[in-house]
Structure 1
Amino acid sequence: SDHKEAYNEVGSQGISYTAGVPPVAAAMLVATGEWDTGKMVNVEELDAKPFINLLNKIGLPTRIQDANGDRALEF
């Protein structure tokens, strides 16, 4: 996240944005039932696709940069 863009949007540094948005996205997925938390699991055991898609929608897009170029990651 760009510090200036984050500050302009939320009045805080980029680290606040990158540290705050993912937990909010996770909470949203739990609240809607898209992530089933009926048992104890590590976050790595949950389906990453809805998480990445939600991050893309709420302001922290995921990108891939490799030999094929730079592009958004969407599912």
Structure 2
Amino acid sequence: MPANPAEPVAVTPGVLANPSQSLERQEGALEALLRRRVEAALADPAPTIPQEEVFAMLRARHASPKSGHRFDE
């Protein structure tokens, strides 16, 4: 956002002309990114962490007064 509201704002060509098409492109790019991340995670040879261990770590982190969060079941 410009410091002066009277200043023009740069707009990517076509965004205002067809906002739904712009949104579809953005959604497509996000979906492709997420797909690549999931595929990379599934291909990772590192050992998995059991669900119980992950939740125990999360509970410990959120129970810590340092975190400022609480996690109640």
TM-score by length of 2: 0.29
Larger RCO, structures 1/2 (Cα 8 Å, 6+ apart)? 1
Between Structure 1 and Structure 2, the one with more strand by share is: 1
Q: What TM-score do you get using the length of structure 1 for normalisation?
A: 0.28
Whose radius of gyration is greater, 1 or 2? 2
